[in-house]
Amino acid sequence: MAISPLDSRYKTEMSEIFSEENKLRKWMDVEIALARAHAKLGHIPKEAPSAIEAGSKKVKLERVLQIEEEIHHDLMAMVKALAEQSGSAGGYIHIGSTSYDIEDTATALIFREGISQMESRLEKLAAVLKKLALAHKKTVCIGRTHGQHANPTTYGMKFALYYSEIQRDLARLKEAKERISFGKMSGATGTMAAFGKDGMKLQELVMKELGVSPSPIANQVIQRDRHAEVLCALAITAATIEKIAKEIRNLSRPEIGEVGEPFGKKQVGSSTMPHKRNPHKSERICSLARLVRANVQTALENIPLEHERDLTNSANERFIFPESFIVTDYMAKEMTAVLEGLQFFPENIKKNLELTRGLVMAERVMMELVMRGTGRQEAHELVRELAQKTFSEKKDFKEVFSARPQGKKFSQKELDALFDPSTYTGEAEKIVENAVK
C-alpha cells in the first residue's frame, strides 16, 4: 500500500528514474565500471568485469533489502548481493572505493536522466505556450497592475511571456546538468590512497565509461553545492509554472471570468455546491510549488557538511531529490494539460475591457494631448482630474473628456479611435512573434 502520493496521485515517468530499482541498477553500473578500470590497469583478471556484469543482471532488489536488514548498510548490501551472483569475480567488486564513490557517481547518472526527462516535459509545455501565444497575439484584453485595470494588452503577450521564461528555465537546467554530471572514485577522504599510484587514471577510466566528468577534487562526497543548484533550478521552474497557474486561477474568478480550466461533463466542483467550477488543477500546482521551494532550503543546509563529511545530508536527500524532480515533472505535465484545454470567454474579455467606461485609455488621451502641443505635466494633471471625475460621477470618460475645451478639438471619429482599446496595444503583435521565435 502506497504511503506517499508520489507513488500514486503524482506519479509520472520521473518516478521510474528515481525508483529504488533504478538506483540499484546505477550503483551496479558504477561497480562494473570500477571493475573494468581495475582490469584495464592490470589490478584484477580481465574476465572479472564481464562476470560481474552478468551477475548484476541476476541481482534482485528484494535480496539487497534482505541483506540490508541484517547488516544495516544499503550500499554494502548491494555489494554482497552482487558478489553472490558473480562467482569468483565477486571478490573483485568494490576494490579501493568508499560507499559514496559509488552512490554519488550513481546520483549524477540519475540526476542527468531526471533533468533530461524534465527538459522533454518543459519543451512540450513550451510548445503549447507558443501555440497559444501566436493564436492569441491579437486577442486584446485588459492589463492589470496592482490588481487594478491598467492599459490594454493581449493574451498573446501573456503566453509569450511564459514561453520566454520556460526557455530560461530550460537554460538553467542545462547548466545545472553540466555541473551535476561529475563523479568521483577517490576513497574515504578524497585522496585516492586506496588506489595507490593509479588513482587519477582509474577515476578517469571509470568516469569515461559512465559518460560523466571526474571531479577535480572531492572529500568523501561530491560537494552538495552541485545538488543544491539542481534543486534551485527545479524550484525556479516550479515557480514559473505556478505563475501561470495563479493567473489562470485569478482570471477564472466569476467576477472576471475570462478563462477557465477544462471542465469534464461529469466533473464535480464541490461536494455540497453543485454549481462550482473550481480551478483545482491550477490550485494543486500552486500548492506543490511550495513543496519544491521548501526543499531548496534543505539542499542548501546540506552544503556545509562537517570536516571531510558527516551523514546529515543522507537521510533528507532520500526525500528531497525524488520529491523535487517528480513533483516538478508532475506540475509541468498538469499545466500542459490545463493549457491544452483552456477555455476562453470572449464576451467577458470584452466586458472587462469596457468595465471602467474608458478610463483605461487615460494614458493614450494624455499622450495625444502632448502630441498636440500640451505640456506633458499639464496633460497628466488634466487627464488625472477628468479620470477622478469620471470615477466619482460614474460617467463615461469619453463623454467627460469631450465636454472640455481640449476634447472639443477632436472630431467624433477621432474620439472614437482615441477611446478604442483594441487599437492601443502598441507593438504587442511583433513582441509576441519575436519572443516565440
- Per-residue model confidence as pLDDT tens digits over 305-355: 999 999 999 999 999 999 999 999 999 999 999 999 999 999 999 999 999
Identify the band that residue 265 occupies on the pLDDT scale cut at 50, 70 and 90: low
Look at residues 336, 313, 334, 418 and name the one whose alpha carbon lies nearest to residue 128: 336
**Average pLDDT, whole number, for the chain?**
94
Kindly list the catalytic residues: 146, 270
Neighbouring-strand partners of residue 259: 344
Neighbouring-strand partners of residue 149: 144
Distance (Å, whole) CA 95 – CA 32: 11
Distance (Å, whole) CA 319 – CA 434: 41
Identify the band that residue 268 occupies on the pLDDT scale cut at 50, 70 and 90: low
Q: CA 233 from chain center: how many Å? A: 7
Long-range contacts of 313-317 (CB under 8 A, 24+ apart): 313/221, 313/224, 317/227
Boundaries of every domain in the chain:
111-193+221-261+276-355+424-437, 359-418
| Cβ within 8 Å of residue 293, ≥6 positions away | 235, 238, 239
Assigned fold of 111-193+221-261+276-355+424-437: Fumarase C; Chain A, domain 2 (1.20.200)
Distance (Å, whole) CA 329 – CA 121: 7
Percent of the chain having pLDDT more than 90? 86
Identify the band that residue 269 occupies on the pLDDT scale cut at 50, 70 and 90: low
The pLDDT of 365-387, averaged and rounded, is: 91
Identity of the amino acid at 126: A
For β-strands 148-154 and 140-145, DSSP reports them as antiparallel
Residue 368 vs residue 242, higher pLDDT: 242
Q: Give one DSSP letter per residue of 247-262, joined into a string.
A: HHHHHTSTTT-SEE--
Distance (Å, whole) CA 232 – CA 297: 9
- Per-residue model confidence as pLDDT tens digits over 20-53: 999 999 999 999 999 999 999 999 999 999 999 9
Three cell numbers written together for 342? 483552456
Total residues found in the chain within this entry: 437
